[in-house]
Structures are given as structure tokens and as C-alpha cells.
Amino acid sequence: MILNSLSLCYHNKLILAPMVRVGTLPMRLLALDYGADIVYCEELIDLKMIQCKRVVNEVLSTVDFVAPDDRVVFRTCEREQNRVVFQMGGMGAALLSDPDKIEKILSTLVKGIRRPVTCKIRILPSLEDTLSLVKRIERTGIAAIAVHGRKREERPQHPVSCEVIKAIADTLSIPVIANGGSHDHIQRYSDIEDFRQATAASSVMVARAAMWNPSIFLKEGLRPLEEVMQKYIRYAVQYDNHYTNTKYCLCQMLREQLESPQGRLLHAAQSSREICEAFGLGAFYEETTQELDAQRAKLSARTSEETGEPAEDTSGVIKMAVKFDRRAYPAQITPKMCLLEWCRREKLAQPVYETVQRPLDRLFSSIVTVAEQKYQSTLWDKSKKLAEQAAAIVCLRSQGLPEGRLGEESPSLHKRKREAPDQDPGGPRAQELAQPGELCKKPFVALGSGEESPLEGW
């Protein structure tokens, strides 16, 4: 699959900006549905991508770039072919003060890859320095330049400098993409064109306004937020988006409504299933997950035939290629602990592990049984303990449950009985639900809105 075509044009386009934690596949597809011409993925580190393996995911009909710990770093699909810009780097703005390095990096990229290279900058303290920088950048041969019309230290509440973007557009011959108008200018579709004309830019890149409601790209006007969020959730389930990322993006859409009844339900949700139930999509979740499980079983059976393995060895077992990496978890937390805790909370029998050792290489594989369903990692491990942890991870991920990794919500949350507020009107759970969760409170970082590198996308 081609992630970006040489024919990709940056003239007169509506563009979804690169946004950390927001620009994953569900948001990109939603923006395309509503009228965006080009979508940037979230900021990704080049070193992490170098370590990834490209995997064709036949279950989801996607192409995944999978890290050594089996986490999907980047996922794309045919729907966004020739429309997606891969966002390489973009954290920190140190390069703005080192134009020589900017020129060297961009020149190397332009000469070394067969894809159009773009970059994104903030403006410098003086117009003269800004114009000098963009001229050097243009000479590297990039296809377009996006300009966030604020200085490095300025925040969204500071006015965007349309006149500086206009001066850049008047100076350069390559397309200039105007960015930074969400706070001051863009509240509806017609405002996007007004912002483009005010900056004389070729195209407009939208960040926060699109994060709050991706239907900002819709010519007919904004759609109701409930409708937009439900559509986002459907994509998240269909493409197996991790529930913590789904929850974060929905929190950004709800904004001031986080303390509403629906906001409290979202805060309480600890899995993809619970998020769906909070938005009236419980039946959709069950139907979709059943279809995906059936597809996995079909592929597993086909693989068994191709490899000559007995069909009974894999019948009824949900499998994933995962391994347990101790470094990715807090000192006192493991997937087995999280799975046991969940089973107790749901009043299920304790997980049962069956582990075998392969004589040839003395590696181990474990199958865990939970609620009469078996789960197993397809990757063999060097110890019985590691194999059991991997099996627990497969079960947790299949159910859309947290597995205790660093960066996930506090495992102590897993110990609380999740009851609706009206079931416990005066208890501690109701008090907990009365406040937005820590996940929802985490600050949003948009590339081009705070601290970003001049290099974005290729």
C-alpha cells in the first residue's frame, strides 16, 4: 500500500493537522468522511518506526507497523491511500534556531525518498528572519510548507499572525498551508475559506477545531456532536483502536460536557465495550467483535492447513502475536494480575493456565481459559511465567481491557466496582464519577499549536 503518492497536491486543500494522540486512524477516516482532502497522522518518532515490522492485517484489512513489543505504532487502510501524510517527528521546536540543520535534514529527505516531503514551522520573532528561513527551506525542494502563525512561546490564546503567513505566501512559489486559526477564526466551515483568504495561503490545516468536531470540514455545516462521536466510536471498534486512545479523543470532543451524565459514563468506562454502552452502541460492539473473532478463526484455520498443523490444536483458541515486556509495566503490575482482578470483579472463575514446552528449543507456550474461552499467544517464550503473561495479554486485548501498562490509567481503578451513578447515589463511586478522569484532563498537544519541530510529514 502506498502511504503517500507523488501526485499528492497541496493546492486548495482542507487538511487535518498532525495532533499527538488524536491523529490515529479513526480520526483520520472521520475527517475524510466529512470532507478533508488530506489527513496527517499523529507525531511518530523515526527510531520507533525503524524498529517496526510491516504487517498486512487480514482481519482488519489494514497495513500495520508493529513494534518489537507487538504494539501497533501506525495503522493505515486503503480508504486513506494517497490522502494520508506520515508525520515524522514534530515534538519540540529546537530546530527553528538551527536553520543549517533544517536545510541538511530536508535536503537529505528530498533526495533520499520517492515521496513528497513537506515541513511545518512556527514563525520567528522577526519577519525578516522568518522569510530568510522559509526561503532556505524552499530551496531544499520540499513540496509544501505549513506555517503555524504563532511564535514558539505563544499559546492558542495568543492571536495568530495572519499577516506573517501572508508575507510567506507572497514570497514563496511552493504551496503554503496556513495553520493556527482554530482559536481566533475557525468555528464553522465558511471560516476556513475566510482564514485562507486572510493569509493568502494555498491551503488550510485545521487542528483544534477538527479535534473538537471533525465535521468542521463539512460544507453543509457542523453535525450534532452525539452523531459525530458515535461515528468515531464505530471506526474505533472496526479498526481495533485501543480503548484509552478512543476515550481520550472522545474527551476532547466533549470538552465542557465532561461533567454531564454521558461524560461521567465515559469517564467510568474501562474498556471499548463500556465506551460503546455509554453511547448506546452496545449491540454494535457485540456484532462487530463477533465478526472480527470469526474472521480471526477463519484465518487461523487457513494457517493451520498451510502449515500442516492439526486443526484441533487451534480450534476455539483466540490467538495474537504478543509477548510480555516487563519494562512496559509498573513494578508491581502484570497482565495476569489485571486479568485475575477483572475475573473476580465480573464474578468469573479464576483464569486457568495450561503451559507446554517445545522439546526442540525448550520454549514455552501457554493457553489461558476464561469463561470457557481459550486465549494464546502465537509467540513462544523462554519461560513458563512469560508465556502465561503473554496469554493473559491476549485475553485482555481481545476484551478491550486495560492490561496495566505504563501510561494506562491507574490499576487501582480496576478494583472499583463500576456501577452507574444512580445505583450508588451517595457512595464513593458517585463522587468519583462526578469529576472528569485523569485521562480526560491530560493536556492536549497539537503539532503546530505549542512545541513542534519544523519537520512534519513526508
Structural domain contains residue 348: yes
Q: What pLDDT score was predicted for residue 446?
A: 45
Q: Mean pLDDT score of the chain, rounded to an integer?
A: 85
- Mean pLDDT computed over 372-400: 92
Check whether residue 42 and residue 190 sit in a common domain.
yes
Check whether residue 171 and residue 31 sit in a common domain.
yes
The contacts of residue 267 (CB under 8 Å, 6+ apart) are: 258, 433, 435, 436, 437, 440
Q: What pLDDT score was predicted for residue 436?
A: 44
- Percent composition of the chain: helix, strand, coil (DSSP 3-state, to 5): 45, 15, 40
Of 188, 204, 222, which marks where a domain is finished? 222
Of 190, 222, 254, which marks where a domain is finished? 222
Q: Which amino acid is located at 351 in the chain?
A: P
pLDDT band at 409 (very low <50, low <70, confident <90, very high): low
pLDDT, tens digit, 9 for 90 and up, residues 46-75: 888 999 999 999 989 999 998 887 788 999
Q: What pLDDT score was predicted for residue 136?
A: 97
Beta-strand pair 352-358/363-370: antiparallel
**What are the start-end ranges of the H helices in 78-188?**
99-112, 127-139, 162-171
Structural domain contains residue 4: no
Q: CATH number of the domain that 346 lies in?
A: 3.30.160.20
Structurally, the chain folds into a number of domains equal to 2
Higher pLDDT, 288 or 415: 288
Q: Which amino acid is located at 74 in the chain?
A: F
Burial (CB count within 10 angstroms: exposed 0-12, middle 13-18, buried 19+), residue 383: middle
Structural domain contains residue 51: yes
Range of the domain at 320: 315-397
Are 144 and 10 contacting, i.e. CB atoms less than 8 angstroms apart?
yes
Residue 372 has pLDDT above 70, yes or no: yes
- The C-alpha cell that represents 149 in the structure block: 502563525
In this structure, of 181-195, 241-255, 311-325, the range with the lowest mean pLDDT score is: 311-325
The contacts of residue 323 (CB under 8 Å, 6+ apart) are: 69, 70, 377, 379, 381, 386, 390
Q: How far apart are CA 126 and CA 213, in angstroms?
A: 34
Q: What pLDDT score was predicted for residue 26?
A: 99
Q: CATH number of the domain that 83 lies in?
A: 3.20.20.70
Check whether residue 17 and residue 133 sit in a common domain.
yes
Q: How far apart are CA 176 and CA 165, in angstroms?
A: 8
